[in-house]
Structure 1
């Protein structure tokens, strides 16, 4: 049943609108766009206006005209966006309120679909079976969602499949699923959005089969991402990239994610740079399982169970650089029983250089796990007030590690320690004869 208080509030907002808003409407219609009011839509009406809006969008698409939606609330459902759409509203004022049925807005194929300044309000009403999100689009080469608000979605707020274009400057909150779910994208930009209070994820970029994707995720603010349907990392991530290669995740501000701030799973050629990650519930920045090639650089992590992990050599994960990051204030407590409290963990073909780590209660840097260590370098790092400074695996058959020129201060359980899995094998590798471990180079480290 429609919440009439919200409809009346929208009508009151229209009635009390300023001359400036009316001036915008007049300017839009005078420049050749179609005013939705002139096509029979009525702001504030409790009647379902889906038929009128669908007809209007079809007419505008065939003539190539823009549609202007004046301020107010319009109750609609199952709006089918044609191949060419340019729908413009007043940001925060022009509201499409979901009336029920399957979905609110849907595009299937199209050259250019553009929504600007629209409020898409799911009203926390259930979406129909088979619907992936409040706003859905598939096979749209240029999808543009700009300066819109998407609220109250009972599934994903925005669900995309095989789309390119720009999702930018939007405000998305209260989705039961993810804020933005994008699968098999092509040249997609996700930029400058504000996302908060979503039930299972913030921004999810994935492919159904691993391959080149090229999505760019930059300048977003993502806060309070939950993991309502549970799991050990598939949900609860602010930014999650899965099987999508050649993705850039840069300069985002992320806080209070139930699991990772940024998580790459089975992703090659992933760049994670310049992000600010606060209060992550599990590993703040993760490159895991079958990744090949990852650059994790110049990020700030403050508060997490683990800081940065580039692991799962047993599953093919290898090759990367981890440099210039600041990691601090970690915890041994995480969302499930496991080993936590590690600043930076790497396993295969990774250079760990120029990082600063403080307050990692277990290990500042962990090199390898059991036999899973090959070609790792830890050089020029600063580690303070941690459990152990540097953990390095020394089990039989393990690969090469170079540990040099690090400054380690105030560790409680040793500076550079050799391990067989979780057991301590060599308490102080700076004093042990390197002849016993010809695969290790440990030199010029300062431990105090």
Structure 2
């Protein structure tokens, strides 16, 4: 058996490893391993930290050389003024989290971009847009197009005059990043090809938190999990296209799970024409409008085990007239709703716990403190095959409102507990007008499309 030959460690590797150990950063182990394997230090290639002058040319040369040699590029702590960096396939740039800062110097199109590459990684870097203008073709401070196996981890993306991170037709993952101060969305993905957006913090963005969208409806499959999203405004206006924490548009098969979304101008989570969406286990706090939406031309939505505290409407599964259908709404807690919204009330108005229309079960939810309706089943003739069972509805003006307009389809309302309804427990509505007494007591037989049984109303 041959003996193990100890190879001497270079002074650079020893000192570099010691410095990184002292930093106590999340990327310490990755950088140490990369250093021992021959990481290229950007300082050795003429890149100067804390320089006043533009570092784009030497840094671009360092990126290209490291990628060509199949090595990681270590960028020491410091401030680097740059613009229009191009990241080729195989790029891996590792910095010291919070201390390696690439600052957009202006005058270029954006800070960094990649197109048509693969296996591009950014770790432990701060990208600072300095709120300087970006070119029209740049949808984000960092813009990646058709990149496979992209990884952006433990980075900060700050002060973009457009979106923070823009991803077009990308696969890979964005994780443990902090995105703040974007003038549009924090993270914007278009037509993803296998993307995970996980465990990030997105805050103080002007028009959106995390956007997952497609130009035409189709399978997307993006995973949006474990993110913290806070203080999302709607400075571009509108009645819901802006101001959402997580917005899914025309993207099918998206999973939105275990996120904490607070203080959004409109919805915490809004899925527009997204079929087979799953919205599971999220905390949605202090939403300015409907907390959780599945709307317009979707087929298939599971909305389960979410906590909604503060909104104008808790959960809306709507737009049967546009093909919105097929949902499960179960195990959610909805409370502390308000009747004032960000625009004049439309349709049924604000102050509603859960509203559904077609081919949907509403089971095992707890709703408390809805100023108008605890449950709203259907709207005008837009009601079909709805089952509302075993829900607890407390301290609402009306416990359950159900449409009795001609043409409305079947609904079963059974075994619900309604306590403290100020007006009535169960009432029939023709559009905005209540036209029945308390159907929990009598009168349901007049409406053949309704089956009511086992409901209990208590003061």
TM-score, normalisation: structure 2: 0.92
Q: What CA distance in whole angstroms lies between the structure 1 residues aligned with 2:167 and 2:32?
A: 33
Written as runs of structure 1 = structure 2, the 5 A alignment for 1:220-239 is: 220-239=227-246
1:192 match: 199
Q: Is the 8 A contact 2:266 2:287 kept in 1?
A: yes
**Equivalent of 1:430, from 440, 444, 455?**
440
1:85 match: 91
Written as runs of structure 1 = structure 2, the 5 A alignment for 1:225-374 is: 225-338=232-345, 339-374=349-384
SS, match of residue 66 in structure 2: helix
Q: Paired residues, what number?
A: 432
Residues 156-188 of structure 1: CA deviation (Å, up to 9, x unaligned)? 000010000000000111111100000000110
Residues 303-354 of structure 1: CA deviation (Å, up to 9, x unaligned)? 0010000010011100000000000000001111111000000000000000
1:20 match: 22
**Equivalent of 2:64, from 53, 58, 79?**
58
Written as runs of structure 1 = structure 2, the 5 A alignment for 1:98-247 is: 98-100=104-106, 101-247=108-254
Which runs of 5 or more structure 2 residues have no equivalent in the other structure?
Answer: 1-18
Q: Is the 8 A contact 2:314 2:337 kept in 1?
A: yes
Q: CA RMSD in A?
A: 1.4
1:394 match: 404
Q: What CA distance in whole angstroms lies between the structure 1 residues aligned with 2:257 and 2:100?
A: 32
SS, match of residue 349 in structure 1: strand
SS, match of residue 53 in structure 1: helix
Which runs of 5 or more structure 1 residues have no equivalent in the other structure?
Answer: 1-16
Measured after TM superposition, the shift of residue 246 of structure 1 is 0.3
Residues 247-290 of structure 1: CA deviation (Å, up to 9, x unaligned)? 00000001000000000000100000000010000000000000
Q: Is the 8 A contact 2:397 2:421 kept in 1?
A: yes
SS, match of residue 170 in structure 2: coil
Q: What CA distance in whole angstroms lies between the structure 1 residues aligned with 2:307 and 2:139?
A: 33
Q: What CA distance in whole angstroms lies between the structure 2 residues aligned with 1:178 and 1:124?
A: 14
Written as runs of structure 1 = structure 2, the 5 A alignment for 1:39-78 is: 39-78=45-84
Tell me whether 428-437 or 40-49 shows the greater mean CA deviation. 428-437
Q: What CA distance in whole angstroms lies between the structure 2 residues aligned with 1:121 and 1:162?
A: 24
TM-score, normalisation: structure 1: 0.94
1:69–1:346 Cα change, 3 Å = same
Residues 188-234 of structure 1: CA deviation (Å, up to 9, x unaligned)? 00000011100000000000110000000000000000001101100
Q: What CA distance in whole angstroms lies between the structure 2 residues aligned with 1:257 and 1:419?
A: 31
SS, match of residue 150 in structure 2: strand
Measured after TM superposition, the shift of residue 129 of structure 1 is 2.2
1:207–1:22 Cα change, 3 Å = closer
Structure 1 outlier segments of 4+, above 6 Å? 22-27
Residues 109-153 of structure 1: CA deviation (Å, up to 9, x unaligned)? 111110000000001111122111000000001110000001111
Measured after TM superposition, the shift of residue 29 of structure 1 is 3.6
2:425 match: 415
Q: Is the 8 A contact 2:440 2:457 kept in 1?
A: no
Q: What CA distance in whole angstroms lies between the structure 1 residues aligned with 2:376 and 2:277?
A: 21
SS, match of residue 234 in structure 1: coil
Q: What CA distance in whole angstroms lies between the structure 1 residues aligned with 2:399 and 2:149?
A: 50
Measured after TM superposition, the shift of residue 31 of structure 1 is 2.6
Measured after TM superposition, the shift of residue 26 of structure 1 is 7.5
Measured after TM superposition, the shift of residue 56 of structure 1 is 1.2
Measured after TM superposition, the shift of residue 21 of structure 1 is 4.3
Measured after TM superposition, the shift of residue 434 of structure 1 is 3.6
1:5 match: none
1:370–1:22 Cα change, 3 Å = closer
Q: What CA distance in whole angstroms lies between the structure 2 residues aligned with 1:410 and 1:29?
A: 66
Q: Is the 8 A contact 2:80 2:103 kept in 1?
A: yes
Residues 384-434 of structure 1: CA deviation (Å, up to 9, x unaligned)? 000100000001111001001000011111000000001001121123344
1:6 match: none
